[in-house]
Amino acid sequence: MTSTLEPKSMGRPLTRVEGADKVTGRAPYAYEHPLSDPLYLHPVLSTIPHGRVTAVDTSGAEALPGVHTVLTPGNAERLADTEDREFAVLQSDEVSFHGQFVAAVVADTPETARQAAGLVKVDYERLSHDVVLTADHRGLYRPVEDADEGPSADTAQGDVEAALERAEVVVDHTYSTPTEHNNPMEPHTTTALWEEGTGHLTLYDSTQGVHVVRASVATVFGLDPERVRVVAPHVGGGFGSKGEAHAHNVLAAMAARALPGRPVKFALTRQQMFCLVGYRTPTIQRVRLGADRDGRLGAVSHDAVEQTSTIKEFTENSAMCSRWMYAAPHRRTTHRIAALDVPVNFWMRAPGECPGTYAAEAAMDELAHACGVDPVELRALNDPETDPQSGSPWSDRRLVQCLREGAERFGWHGRDPAPRSRREGDWLVGTGVASASYPHMFNPGSVAHVRHDGDGRYEVSIGAVDIGTGAWTSLTQIAADALGRPASDIRLRIGDTAFPSASVAGGSSGTSSWGTAIVAAARAFRDRHGDSPEPGAEASASAAEDTVDEGYSIYSFGAHFAEAWVNADTGEVRVPRMYGLFSIGRVVNPRTVRSQFLGGMVMGLSMALHEESYRDPRYGHIANGDFAEYHVPTNADVGDLRADWLDEEDPRATPMGSRGAGEIGIVGSPAAVANAVHHATGVRVRDLPITPDKLLR
């Protein structure tokens, strides 16, 4: 089966079409759009995790020259719809978490706004709070399930307990991951302008989905969506946190409505981002594997405990990966969450699959050690012929090929399987492997528009967003091949609700969903106008519901390999090299795809060794909420990272033959590092991050 597109631009490593504008500063981000006479907003955040505001003294702030208004729960406008309680900004005196908006100052300069915010005095009635997740938390419950959307919280096949009872080898351990924060380079930023007279609202926003933000803000303010415009031509990263609107969008729009005709700029500080734009929930995961002496699985049980907020439920679904990764006749997965007095958690790169695969692949490494089977071959032995979850055939499952070819390229063979078997001076050296998988995400309904400019060029418009992943370039390449033109003839327009509707950039779904819409629009254009269109010829089409072949299970797969060096005296861990080999269908642009893989692998390294947000149980805040104390890798921590992919295509997934690439680079990579550390030291750290104290303990 072959792709419906003949690639000419796709598959070539074109440089980023917007690259020159970015490096020369001509590409405007949300805070940088040239607007006349802007005002600046700075918020006041709650200093308690649970209670209510009893008084707000704004006199000191209002007396400061340059202050235009101070918004509080007492004078803020009443919003039209606050069913989503994250958006109920300044609507009551209730405080639900440390860091919640309790007031905001708008002033002539950001410095004045910040100074004035510090002069606002807030009194509270403090109530008892609960901010600590435990495996036996008394408030644990099964997540609410939506019959139309989302997976089941629990699944069961066969008799897991009986299979574990009769298994020759059993692995039964609990693995934990801490709270982690997305922290894209560009902070969450909104510039809001409420036009006088027309009642139209424009948001220049740092978002992964302009149409998603428009829908949310219009609902909250009771507006016709056509009266709201959201603009985001360039976004400096998101990693999921910018996948939907958050409270800061509402606060900026509220301030702009109070001061119509003046743009209000609001950029969260790095510290504020630790409490207002989502984070990865901590997880506590018990994984039980039952196998015969050869390592063939008979039972898989994966139970995940996570947290959510009292104001809005969000479930990470960390155990889902165990539903399809390996063959086992008896299988169970469960999710339980506790609603705590904490901010709303949300998407962070590969939500669910990332922490879940860490636990599952660490357990597989422990099973390989217990059975005396090579970790690569153990995974190959348990590769399922069909999807264990649905029974459907795979569209293109090449995990074993990734594992075996990856092992060859990494230099895995000849490895002494015994822990602590290699030492170089003061350093213990080990290698580790982990599998990776990520479901093919496709969102139907995105719409693209094609217009012939008359000068031999084609204007292609879609309300997609490039969050730094290369959408400007890859969509240009897809459009070029769909129209049978060179990429230089395509003028892409994205990042604006003035363009046709598009789904969010998330879940590795962007290129698949938007590219499919562009292909559909190009076909409609060529069917209507032929190969010699008149100037002004145009056509639109949407990504069809039946694009993905429903008869198949469609996933991307990969294999991660890591080498770890651990200082025998200090416990310091270094990872001088990592290698990943991936199967993602056709690669649209090798340059941007490699960047995505390597970025994900660095984030996985960071998760394994560095990242941990510490929530102070006394006050409910993140105590290390800045880059001085929330540690991420620097250049010195990242050694020889390499990523390759199989030469393939998957027309059952998209008409381009491609699948997503953004998430799978992080899925599995923390486990590969953790498994390498165990091989080096013989110490199994099951609670990330792996820090020297845990190794020396």
Residue among 252, 282, 253 nearest 267 (CA)? 252
Average confidence (pLDDT) over 451-477 = 96
Strand pairing partners for 189? 267
What is the C-alpha separation between 330 and 146, in angstroms, rounded? Answer: 26
Contact 66, 262 (CB under 8 A): no
Enumerate domains of the chain plus CATH numbers.
19-28+445-538 (3.30.365.10), 33-128+185-266 (3.90.1170.50), 155-180+279-440+551-696 (3.30.365.10)
pLDDT score of 149: 63
Both tokens of residue 316?
């990470």
Residue among 491, 574, 84, 134 nearest 314 (CA)? 84
Where residue 697 falls among pLDDT bands split at 50, 70, 90? confident
Strand pairing partners for 291? 169, 297
Average confidence (pLDDT) over 442-464 = 95
Contact 521, 539 (CB under 8 A): yes
Residue 338 reports pLDDT greater than 70: yes
Residue among 157, 114, 129 nearest 50 (CA)? 129
Percent of the chain whose pLDDT exceeds 90 = 96
What is the C-alpha separation between 231 and 29, in angstroms, rounded? Answer: 10
Residue among 78, 130, 120 nearest 342 (CA)? 130
Q: What's the pLDDT tens digit per position in 52-72? A: 999 999 999 999 999 999 999
Integer-rounded Cα Rg, in Å, for the chain is: 26
pLDDT score of 4: 60
Both tokens of residue 158?
């066969």
Both tokens of residue 552?
């198949």
Residue 670 reports pLDDT greater than 60: yes
Average confidence (pLDDT) over 213-217 = 98
pLDDT score of 676: 98
Contacts of 98 (CB under 8 A, 6+ apart): 45, 46, 47, 48, 49, 275, 619, 620, 621
546: three-class secondary structure by DSSP? coil
Terminal alpha carbon distance of the chain: 55
Average confidence (pLDDT) over 212-228 = 98
What is the C-alpha separation between 685 and 608, in angstroms, rounded? Answer: 10
Percent of the chain whose pLDDT exceeds 70 = 99
What is the C-alpha separation between 641 and 576, in angstroms, rounded? Answer: 8
- β-strands 297-309, 283-291: how paired? antiparallel
Output the CA torsion 587→588→592→593 (10° steps): -20
What is the C-alpha separation between 500 and 558, in angstroms, rounded? Answer: 34
41-to-7, 44, 67, 486, 620 alpha-carbon distances in Å: 48, 10, 10, 45, 25
Residues in the chain, how many? Answer: 697
Burial letters for 103-124: b for 16+ Cβ neighbours within 10 Å, e otherwise?
bbbbbbebebbbbbbebbebeb
Exposed, middle or buried: residue 128 (CB in 10 Å: 0-12, 13-18, 19+)? exposed
Contact 318, 304 (CB under 8 A): yes
Contact 177, 609 (CB under 8 A): no
Strand pairing partners for 204? 191, 231
pLDDT score of 3: 53
Where residue 647 falls among pLDDT bands split at 50, 70, 90? very high
Which residues are designated catalytic? 663
Q: What's the pLDDT tens digit per position in 495-517? A: 999 999 999 999 999 999 999 99
Average confidence (pLDDT) over 310-314 = 97
Average confidence (pLDDT) over 69-95 = 98
What is the C-alpha separation between 603 and 348, in angstroms, rounded? Answer: 11
DSSP secondary-structure letter at 226? G
683-to-432, 675, 694 alpha-carbon distances in Å: 13, 10, 9
411: three-class secondary structure by DSSP? coil
What is the residue-averaged pLDDT of the chain? 96
pLDDT score of 1: 36
What is the C-alpha separation between 599 and 508, in angstroms, rounded? Answer: 14
Q: What's the pLDDT tens digit per position in 355-410? A: 999 999 999 999 999 999 999 999 999 999 999 999 999 999 999 999 999 999 99
Where residue 531 falls among pLDDT bands split at 50, 70, 90? confident
Residue 2 reports pLDDT greater than 50: no
Tracing tokens 């202050």 back to the chain, one arrives at 67
pLDDT score of 6: 72
Where residue 455 falls among pLDDT bands split at 50, 70, 90? confident
pLDDT score of 144: 85
Of the listed ranges 85-99, 144-158, 574-588, the least confidently predicted one is 144-158
Strand pairing partners for 452? 458
What is the C-alpha separation between 181 and 275, in angstroms, rounded? Answer: 9
Contacts of 454 (CB under 8 A, 6+ apart): 534, 535, 536
Counting runs of H as helices and runs of E as strands, what totals does the chain give?
15, 24
If one counts every other C-beta atom within 10 angstroms of the C-beta of residue 207, the result is: 31
Average confidence (pLDDT) over 478-494 = 97
What is the C-alpha separation between 163 and 140, in angstroms, rounded? Answer: 27
Both tokens of residue 120?
């606002």
Exposed, middle or buried: residue 80 (CB in 10 Å: 0-12, 13-18, 19+)? exposed
Average confidence (pLDDT) over 33-43 = 97
Residue among 364, 358, 357 nearest 290 (CA)? 364
- β-strands 330-340, 297-309: how paired? parallel
79-to-99, 222, 314, 419, 440 alpha-carbon distances in Å: 21, 8, 23, 60, 37
Residue among 338, 328, 187 nearest 271 (CA)? 187
